[in-house]
Amino acid sequence: MRRALTLLTKRGMAATKTHYDRVAASYHDAYFYSDAYEMWQRDEVLQRLELRPHHRVADVGGGTGRFVGLLKDAAGLSTKPICVDPSAAMLEACERKDVAFVQSDARAYVDGLPPKALDRVLLKEVVHHFGDDELASICAGLHKALDGNGRVVVCTRPRDDVEYPFFEAARDVWRAAQPSADHFVDAFEKHGFSCRVDVAAYPAVIDREVWLGMMRNRFWSTFAGFSDGELAAGVAEVAAAHPPGPTAFEERVVFIVADAV
């Protein structure tokens, strides 16, 4: 199982892209990207983004574009929001005509933006993929690209204190791959942002078989570095620890609201 940790922590952009290309078609089958949970997350993001209809919005690492489409509908955005993602398969998985799709990694996209091109930027479940230099460059570029009252909202998860029914080796991979909120706050504050952090909690209840199926599908990149045999052993470990039927846990999402000052 050490192999998975090594693979995941040393994964480059190509390996990450391969992972998302592979999961794109079934991405919205997973609990965290559909139904009531997705609506809860949309409302939590809306509260923090404080969108106005005239805002120019980019969802960087936006995956399929479905989430930013939900934001557009709720806020009545008058221009198409932009979904930026390096994975062509993710960008092709949802066919919203009222979202503009850009195939790019975050740094290249941000580098190419003219000054004051955007009002709001969402970085949802993507910042853990950025290396240190990449993060610094993205923060600097976003500061230039945001207009006067510009805001970035980062949506990520805690490094510690997570209740997911993981197997032990997956928990190790999670901790190794998920920096704490301070790491991101430092990077934004070094580049002219003022940040506040809070954690939102959701009472998740997932049927054990559904959760085991999500892990078998490697729904998060946490599982991408395990061989088939390692994953099967991990799934069996979780099955042994949880009885059939609903499994309840508290889902915690870390929000960083970074205002350009």
Ligand X SMILES: C[S@@+](CC[C@H](N)C(=O)[O-])C[C@H]1O[C@@H](n2cnc3c(N)ncnc32)[C@H](O)[C@@H]1O
**Residues within the interface to ligand X (CB under 6 A):** 13, 16, 20, 33, 60-63, 67, 85-87, 90, 105-106, 124-126, 129-130
| Residue number, 117 or 233, with CB nearest to ligand X | 117
Instruction: Work out how close the CB of 244 gets to ligand X at its nearest, in angstroms, rounded to a whole number.
Output: 28
Instruction: Work out how close the CB of 125 gets to ligand X at its nearest, in angstroms, rounded to a whole number.
Output: 4
| Residue number, 17 or 191, with CB nearest to ligand X | 17
| CA distance to 1, 35, 154, 205, 224, per residue, from 228 (Å) | 11, 29, 32, 26, 10
| Residue number, 130 or 167, with CB nearest to ligand X | 130
Is the CA virtual torsion 94, 100, 104, 105 positive or negative? negative
Secondary structure element (H or E) that encloses residue 253, with its range: strand 246-260
Instruction: Work out how close the CB of 132 gets to ligand X at its nearest, in angstroms, rounded to a whole number.
Output: 13
Residue 144, exposed/middle/buried by CB under 10 A (0-12, 13-18, 19+)?
middle
Q: Which residue lies nearest ligand X, judged by its C-beta? A: 63
Q: What is the CA radius of gyration of the chain?
A: 18
| Residue number, 22 or 242, with CB nearest to ligand X | 22
Distance between CA atoms of residues 253 and 7, nearest Å:
25
Instruction: Work out how close the CB of 76 gets to ligand X at its nearest, in angstroms, rounded to a whole number.
Output: 21
- Annotate 109-128 with DSSP letters as a single string: HHHTPPTT-EEEEEEES-GG
| Residue number, 77 or 84, with CB nearest to ligand X | 84
Characterize the bridge pairing of strands 193-207 and 246-260. antiparallel
Instruction: Work out how close the CB of 55 gets to ligand X at its nearest, in angstroms, rounded to a whole number.
Output: 18
| Residue number, 16 or 178, with CB nearest to ligand X | 16
Instruction: Work out how close the CB of 241 gets to ligand X at its nearest, in angstroms, rounded to a whole number.
Output: 25
Distance between CA atoms of residues 29 and 121, nearest Å:
25
Distance between CA atoms of residues 17 and 104, nearest Å:
11
